[in-house]
Structure 1
Amino acid sequence: MTYIPVRGRTIRRRRESERSTRRLVFVLSSAAVIAWLLSVTLSTAVHVDTYGHSLAVALHILSLVVAFGAVILVDWHGFLWLIGRRQLAEVLRLGGAATLLIWGGLAGLLATCVFLNPHLNNPLTDLKLAAVLVLSLNGIMLIPLMRRLARLPSDASFEDLTAGQRIHLLLRLVISQACWWTAIIIGFINAEF
């Protein structure tokens, strides 16, 4: 390891960047909670006919396929990076490209939920809705780590991360997959009854 002098301006920029990242995480987390609350609240007030409900179900499933498909692809490439089969730059580039698909699909899920007449007195439905909120916040909590990863060399490996970064990344991955699969399985169970 070599010593590379860092200028005061560079340190100030990094601190400002970290502050702006914290503000961004706070704003996005607040927006996610508000959007989730709005979706759940409106779902109790909006009732649609059979055709509208069928259309909402189709759009809900389409949004699920888009968002979860992109998540699976990014997580798969992340796993390949973890075992040394991909470079960090590839994973970050794919993650950047998939961001719009993931968040657009999630927005579609929240928007179509309004027209699905969910049974909010069903504990499974409540668990599904909580999983959707947690996975949204979990994705937002990845932003600071992803920004740190983007500053690493493009060929950095998983072992190059600090222990805290590795744990953070793996924890976010587990939470993401657990929440997505919980919401999907409960959604299909509820659709049967």
Structure 2
Amino acid sequence: MSYVPVSRRTIRLHRESERSTRRLVAALSGVAIAAWLLSVLLSAAVSVDGFVHDVDLVVHDLFLVVAFGAIILVDWHGFLWLIGRRTLGEIIRLDGAATPLIWGGLAGMLATGVFLSPHLDSPMTEVKLAAVLVLSLNGIMLIPLMRRLARLPARIAFKDLSTGQRVHLMSCLVVSQLCWWTAIIIGFINAQS
């Protein structure tokens, strides 16, 4: 057991930071669920055809490219960190730069998805919508871990993380990729019909 001297003030600030992170995660989860639900409900009430639908589909796909492209870039650099080719500091900086693209793209997809006239009675569409909700919540659940990682030394290796941190990171990565690919594949299948 090692002793690391920490002042009472540092301990208090850390606890306050953990509490504020939990409040942020709860608030963002509520916002994500509400935005997802609003998008689904409005898509049932709104119906567009022809040119407007086609333009909306193009814009929706552009938002997809922005969000998923940023996800792929972050995940790829995360893999490079895992095998020792990048530093944690590089990953944290890249994640900070990509976060607005990811969430902006996702918000744009929810907004444009309203006008795509989805077949809400189709089981495939239900799976796609569930995947979108899960990937949103999964991204929010990464916030506490990313905040903890940002406080670590920039050169720490993946293998030096705690087992819990490694499992959390890898499980979020797997859930993210499964949900994104599920939503994309079902979306393109539905666009053909």
Instruction: Please indicate the TM-score interval, normalised by the length of the shorter structure.
Output: over 0.9
Shift of 1:2: 6.1
For the pair 1:6 / 2:1, whether they are aligned, the reply is no
**Cα shift readout 1:144-184 (whole Å, capped 9, x = no counterpart):** 00000000000011111100010000000000000000000
1:28 and 1:164 map into 2 onto residues whose CA distance is 23
Q: Secondary structure at the match of 2:102?
A: helix
1:131 and 1:2 map into 2 onto residues whose CA distance is 43
The correspondence of residues 21-170 of structure 1 with structure 2, limited to 5 A, is 21-170=21-170
4+ long deviations beyond 2 Å? 1-4
1:79 and 1:92 map into 2 onto residues whose CA distance is 13
Aligned residues: 193
1:153 and 1:146 map into 2 onto residues whose CA distance is 13
Q: Secondary structure at the match of 2:120?
A: coil
Amino acid at match of 1:171: S
The residue aligned with 1:176 is 176
Q: Secondary structure at the match of 1:5?
A: coil
Q: Which stretches in structure 1 are left out of the alignment for 5+ residues?
A: none
2:111 and 2:6 map into 1 onto residues whose CA distance is 47
Single out whichever of 157-166 and 171-180 deviates more from structure 2. 157-166
1:176 and 1:84 map into 2 onto residues whose CA distance is 22
**Cα shift readout 1:42-92 (whole Å, capped 9, x = no counterpart):** 001111231110011001100000000000000000000011000000000
TM, length-normalised to structure 2: 0.98
TM, length-normalised to structure 1: 0.98
Shift of 1:4: 2.9
Sequence identity (%): 71
Q: Secondary structure at the match of 1:114?
A: helix
1:75 and 1:51 map into 2 onto residues whose CA distance is 36
Amino acid at match of 1:43: S
1:47 and 1:131 map into 2 onto residues whose CA distance is 23
What RMSD, in angstroms, separates the aligned Cα atoms of the two structures? Answer: 0.9
